[in-house]
Every structure is written in structure tokens, then in C-alpha cells.
Amino acid sequence: MTLYRNIMIILLITLGITGCNAEKPQENLSAATVSDQRIINADHEPQNWLAHGRTFDQQRYSPLDQINVKNIKDIGLDWHFDFDTHRGLEATPIVINGVMYVTGSWSRVYALNAVTGRLLWEYDPKVPGKWAVNACCDVVNRGVAVWQGKVYVGTLDGRLIALDAKTGKVIWDVMTIDKKLPYTITGAPLVARGKVFIGNGGAEFGVRGYVSAYDALTGKMVWRFFTVPGDPKKGFEAPILEKAAKTWHGEWWKLGGGGTVWDSMTYDPDLDQLYIGVGNGSPWNQAIRSPGGGDNLFLSSIVALKPDSGKYVWHYQTTPGEMWDYTATQQMISADLKINGKMRKVLMQAPKNGFFYILDRKTGALLSAKKYVKANWASHVDMATGRPVENPKARYYDNPWLAFPNPLGGHNWQSMSYNPNSHIVYIPAQEVPFLYAPDKNFKVVHPGVNLGADLAAASMPDDKTAKRQVMAMIKGHISAWDPVQQKELWRVQHPGPWNGGLLNTKGNLLFQGNAAGTFVAYDSRNGEKLWSFPAQTGIIAAPVTYSVGGEQYVSILAGWGGVFPLLAGEAALKSGKVSNNSRILTFKLGGRDKLPPWKYTEAYFPQPPAGTGNPKQIATGNGLFHHFCSSCHGDKAVSAGVLPDLRYSSALQDDRWFDITLGGILKDNGMVSFKTALNKKQLEAIRQYIILRAQILKRSKESNNK
């Protein structure tokens, strides 16, 4: 040992003893030297959560078992960290040698001591508040990737940024989108083979999807793969797009086409392939997007690419010619499974459309597909052709169609968890109906959503009996799914949908936070509820587990948000009323931390002004509200705990209404001016519609008080 090293060791020991947390193991910011090999061998360091799904296969199973079915009743909150934001939290933390790297709302990045919750550094990419209008589904972010001492984040406004894992300082910062178009990034980047892979969202607004690979060291773009063809007259970026273009009609490129890769990607080190999950069509309505039909490749597909070149290998399309927002962006789990007596390398996905798919990873061949939730758009998947057998009425070209699943999907981005020993997939599933009706007056607007489907027609009915029936149909559950037999073994029923992602462990535990605001541990063998914690907010993110100094922790981001409470109005209250209290909650055996006391309180409801609107004006306001406002302020102006409920707004009283909606005085907080899309007369119609909604609320409050 050299003298120099001896001195260094003495110095480190001294620092350790004199440090304020001498009894606690210290975080090691220098250990973020994650490599492909380290992730491949992740089971050799089960104390760490190295990558988004822990391992490359995205199984979200932890080999830790210090916390198990026997002692789970003894776990308690050990520390909590309060975010200073009040929007949805969807991220999976990465934990390496006692340091947690995580994102909050607005693409902000935090490094914390995973034992104490102490903030080590914070990075705010300063996403302009006005960019929020391009986000369909809240200003959320699903996490970072860590590789060779760097932390990578995709920002809502389209940047990919590499930070120094030790300090949070920017190493490089590249723009991945055309800033003239309404693209957003909410997904976690994936790093493999020295490249950072990132997609984007925006298919509710009119964009063309793609995924790009950047050199992880320098930030230089290596390749880009477009998921839908562009204008054929301009030539194709890849030979496969020429073939894909034959499955489109009309002038789809003028509308974008969609196919955004906004969430899941899986790297397969066995076959050196990258799988990308491709999103819905833009606009939704195929009659507008591609008149005359066609499969519209690669919408709603899983596509396999070569990670070094972005070259196409194979694809499987779950929903040809999709028109229900049935994305195939959901998590793709790779595993080895015995199917029909033969061991196969498979890829599993439960996309929005309600079918659970098993593909052969080598060839993309469909091995099986069965409904995991109620789905009425197709009866089954024909195994000879690999295509769904559709109900022709589901294509709402002329007439509305009451569909299961709805645009939330039978399963969305909330993570599944797979147990490689029992071969059970745990699915955070949901069953919600939706009326798809054609928008006969479609025209592209900005700001505003461009769906080609009429959201006002899909509103909650006013009639009490009809409403009760709809509310009864809205459900959520955990499905314990056997992928080999393709059937449900058991389920845990929840009051409503939009519950959190899942984690299962060697301790036979299954963890989930839910929309009702509770963090729960179940026995992963039978779904028995073993332990729960009141989280003071709805939970949508997925838990992780790690250990430091021989002690196991379970940690989760708690913070209500995402598309459901923004858009769904009363339906989003199905699990009960919750609000957003954005926090990280971390538990261990014998944990003794306490949250400050808190109780759900109704917002103050001022007396709404007397309305002056006539029925025609109010009908106009209803239509406009559901085209321009309901995606954030909720169906029928009912807010579910994240953004302001406009029925309660004092701005209904006076000209502040126009200062906000035309003047843009709240743009930095995510509420832009609508002056490029709406005039004063139209905004007055929206105001009159909301005043009517507030009057109805007032009457119901009065009759409840009687």
C-alpha cells in the first residue's frame, strides 16, 4: 500500500467519524459507475436499484427478503422528503450505494441520501411553464437513467440532459425535438451500449413519433428511427418506412400521424436488440388521419431495432389502424418461459387495448394473446394471422361506440412486476368505459387537443340513474396473471382505476400505492392484504426496494396526478377525494418517522355569479370547454384534486377571466393564453357554461345541507 493511499484512508475514516451522521452509513456519490455489465449482473448487487426496471428485462422483482411476509407488520415510515411542487409524481427512483436519484414534476432531478432522505443536490432544467400546454397528461416525469457517473433526464420541453452524478452539474444538454411542434418528454431514458435512447409524446396534438439514440459520453446524435412515414415526396428516412407508407392513405403527414414512443423501451443483451413501444395515431380518428383505412404502421406496435444503428429488425402490431388511443407504449418484460412445452425467449406486454401479448423476442412471432380485462373492440386475436378480430361497430366513423377499455387503457404506464420463480405477472389493471364519438367539425387547433373524437359527447351523463350506472362500471384492480396459461389466478379489487405501479420481492411481498391514498403490502402468493400506510395523497408511481449497511428499505413517490385526475372529472373521484401532497416515502423495519397531521379539506366555494348565458351560448361553451380546457380542468369542469376546479374560481366574477385566458397572466404556472385559438366571445361562452356548472354544484350543496 502506498503512503498516499494510507493517508487517504486515514482522512476518510476521520471524516466518517466527525461527520454528523457517524452512525449512519454514508452515501457514495462516486459509485454511479453503472455499466451494461453491472446491469446484466444486477442480481450480484441486489442492494442497488440500478436501472428503471431494476434489470434490463424490466421485471421489477427484487431478490431482497429481509422485509418479508412474516415481519412486514413491523415496517414503519423511516424518512420522507417533501417536494415543493404539486403536480403528479410518476418516477421510479434509481438507488446506488446509498444514493437515490429521482425526478419530480417539471423534469426536476434530485439526488438524496437513501438512508436519511437528506438532499445532496438538485437540478432544475427550468422547463418554461407555458410548455405544459403541450402535455396531454400532466407535467410528469418517469425517472432518470444512470451510467458511468452520469445521470440522464429527458425534459418536458424536449431536451436530453446529462448531469454529473456527483454534483448535479450539466455535462451536456441537447434538444431532441423541433421546438415549433408540441412534443414533450415524460419517459425515462434508457442507456445501453454507450447510447442513451429517448422518445417523446405529443400524439394528442399532431406530431410524428420517433426514437433517437445519443452518444452517452458526448450527447451527439447517433441515429433516429421514425415510427410513421413522412411525406413520400420528400423520400424516406429508412427503407422500412417505404413499406410502412403503403399502409397509410391521404395526407397523414400533414396531421403528424402520431406513433410516439413516450414510455417503454427494453434492451435485450441476449439478442442485442432494442424494443420500442409505439403509441396511438394522431389524430385518434382514423377516418380523418388515414381516410380509407389501412394498418397505419407502426402505430400501436412493438418494434425491434438494432441498438447500434437503429436498423429495423421486426415488428408486431397490436391494434392495426388504431383509433381508440390504444398505445403499445406499455412496459415490455423479457423473460424465458416454457410455452407449449418449449423454452422461449419471450417479450410480454399488456398494452392499453386489453390483450396480454407474448411474443418470441428473436422473430417477433406472436405466441399467444388473451384478454386480461374487459375489451369489446375485438372478440379475440386470430393466431393464424396474428390480427385482432374486430367488432366493426367499434370504428366510430359515423356512430358513437361505447368502448372497453377507454383511452386510459386496461393498463397504462404504471409498472407491472414479474416474479421469475412463480412466473406470475402482476398487472395494475383497470376497466373504464368511454363513448368514442366522431368530431364532425374537426380542424387543427393550437393550443388544444386534436383528436377527431368529441370529448363533450363522452361526458358524464347528467341524469342521476345513468350517472350511477356509469360510475358503477368504473373499476380498477391488481391482476395476478399467469402468462403461460394466459389466465388470471386472482385479483385484488380496488374502488377505482389509476392505481400505482407494482413491485414484488423474494420476501413474497407485493407492494402498491393506490388512488385512494394508501400504500399497501400484499402477500404476492394470494393477494392477502398484510400492511398499509395512509399516504395523505393518491399514489400512481411504482415502489422500489434497496438496502444500505445491511438494512432493507422500501421507497415510493407519492403524489396524485397524471392524465386521469386532470381529464376525467367525476370519474376520477371514484376512489374517493384525494389531493396532491408530493413526497418520497421510505420505509424500513422499525421505522419511526411521522408525517405532519393532515386532513382532506374542501376548497372554499364562493357564491358563483348569476349566469347570463342563453342555452345556445351554453351549448357552444360546453363544446369549446371540452375541446380546449377539459384535458386539464376535467370533464364537465369537475376537478379531481390536482388543478383548479373552475367552478370554484373567483375569476368567473370579473375580467380576470380574460386576463388569464387571453392575457396569459398565469402562463408561468402552466396556464397559457388561448388567444391564438379562441376569441373573447368564445371564452365568454365557456365562462357562461362554467357558471352554469357552478350553479348546479351550488344547488346540490344546498340540498345536501338540508
Is 174 or 629 the residue whose CB approaches ligand HEC more closely? Answer: 629
Instruction: Select the span of 98-106, 194-202, 220-228, 661-669 touching ligand HEC (CB under 6 A).
Output: 661-669
Taking the C-alpha atoms of residue 22 and residue 24, their distance in angstroms, rounded to an integer, is: 6
Q: State the amino acid at position 356 in one-letter form.
A: F
In the bound complex, what is the minimum distance in angstroms from residue 449's beta carbon to ligand HEC? Answer: 8
In the bound complex, what is the minimum distance in angstroms from residue 178's beta carbon to ligand HEC? Answer: 20
Could you say which residues in the range 78-97 bind ligand HEC, by CB under 6 A?
none
Query: Is residue 40 a contact point for ligand HEC (CB under 6 A)?
Result: no
Could you say which residues in the range 190-219 bind ligand HEC, by CB under 6 A?
none
In the bound complex, what is the minimum distance in angstroms from residue 627's beta carbon to ligand HEC? Answer: 9
Is 116 or 630 the residue whose CB approaches ligand HEC more closely? Answer: 630
Is 445 or 589 the residue whose CB approaches ligand HEC more closely? Answer: 445
Question: Binding residues for ligand HEC, how many (CB under 6 A)?
Answer: 22
Identify the CA nearest to 316 among candidates 278, 261, 259, 274.
278
Q: Contact with ligand HEC (CB under 6 A): which of 114, 196, 359, 671?
A: 671
Contact 417, 428 (CB under 8 A): no
Contacts of 260 (CB under 8 A, 6+ apart): 183, 199, 200, 201, 202, 203, 207, 209, 227, 278, 279, 280, 282, 329
Taking the C-alpha atoms of residue 637 and residue 625, their distance in angstroms, rounded to an integer, is: 8
In the bound complex, what is the minimum distance in angstroms from residue 647's beta carbon to ligand HEC? Answer: 10
Q: Contact with ligand HEC (CB under 6 A): which of 51, 94, 127, 133?
A: 133
In the bound complex, what is the minimum distance in angstroms from residue 575's beta carbon to ligand HEC? Answer: 22
Task: List Cα–Cα distances, 263 to 136, 185, 189, 274, in angstroms.
Answer: 14, 9, 9, 14
In the bound complex, what is the minimum distance in angstroms from residue 439's beta carbon to ligand HEC? Answer: 17
In the bound complex, what is the minimum distance in angstroms from residue 625's beta carbon to ligand HEC? Answer: 7
Task: List Cα–Cα distances, 446 to 182, 205, 673, in angstroms.
Answer: 9, 8, 11
Query: Is residue 666 a contact point for ligand HEC (CB under 6 A)?
Result: yes
Which x/- pattern over 620-659 shows residues binding ligand HEC (rule: CB under 6 A)?
--------xx-xxx---------xx-x--xxx-----x--
Which x/- pattern over 579-618 shows residues binding ligand HEC (rule: CB under 6 A)?
----------------------------------------
Taking the C-alpha atoms of residue 116 and residue 118, their distance in angstroms, rounded to an integer, is: 5
Taking the C-alpha atoms of residue 676 and residue 448, their distance in angstroms, rounded to an integer, is: 10
Taking the C-alpha atoms of residue 356 and residue 27, their distance in angstroms, rounded to an integer, is: 41
Structure-block grid coordinates of residue 436:
368514442
Instruction: Select the span of 144-152, 255-263, 500-508, 668-676 touching ligand HEC (CB under 6 A).
Output: 668-676
In the bound complex, what is the minimum distance in angstroms from residue 546's beta carbon to ligand HEC? Answer: 34
Query: Is residue 132 a contact point for ligand HEC (CB under 6 A)?
Result: yes
Query: Is residue 455 a contact point for ligand HEC (CB under 6 A)?
Result: no
Residue with cell 396531454: 136
Is 264 or 581 the residue whose CB approaches ligand HEC more closely? Answer: 581
Contacts of 611 (CB under 8 A, 6+ apart): 618, 688, 691, 692, 695
Is there a cis peptide before residue 298, judged by omega within 30 degrees of 0? yes
Is 194 or 644 the residue whose CB approaches ligand HEC more closely? Answer: 644
Is 251 or 668 the residue whose CB approaches ligand HEC more closely? Answer: 668
Is 25 or 644 the residue whose CB approaches ligand HEC more closely? Answer: 644
Query: Is residue 450 a contact point for ligand HEC (CB under 6 A)?
Result: no
Identify the CA nearest to 609 among candidates 549, 687, 534.
687
Q: For residue 192, report the phi and psi dihedrals to the nearest 5 degrees.
A: -160, 155
Query: Is residue 694 a contact point for ligand HEC (CB under 6 A)?
Result: no
407-439 as b/e: b if 16+ CB within 10 A: bbbbbbbbbbbbbbeebbbbbbbbbbbbbbbbb
Contact 538, 566 (CB under 8 A): no
In the bound complex, what is the minimum distance in angstroms from residue 685's beta carbon to ligand HEC? Answer: 10
In the bound complex, what is the minimum distance in angstroms from residue 89's beta carbon to ligand HEC? Answer: 16
Identify the CA nearest to 49 among candidates 143, 170, 162.
143
Q: Contact with ligand HEC (CB under 6 A): which of 670, 688, 689, 693?
A: 670
Query: Is residue 661 a contact point for ligand HEC (CB under 6 A)?
Result: yes
Identify the CA nearest to 175 among candidates 195, 142, 198.
198
In the bound complex, what is the minimum distance in angstroms from residue 136's beta carbon to ligand HEC? Answer: 9
Q: Contact with ligand HEC (CB under 6 A): which of 674, 684, 691, 694?
A: 674
546-584 as b/e: b if 16+ CB within 10 A: bbbeebbbbbbbbbbbbbbbbbbbbbbbbbeebbbbbbb
In the bound complex, what is the minimum distance in angstroms from residue 11's beta carbon to ligand HEC? Answer: 49
Contact residues for ligand HEC, defined by CB under 6 A: 132-133, 628-629, 631-633, 643-644, 646, 649-651, 657, 660-661, 666, 669-671, 674, 686
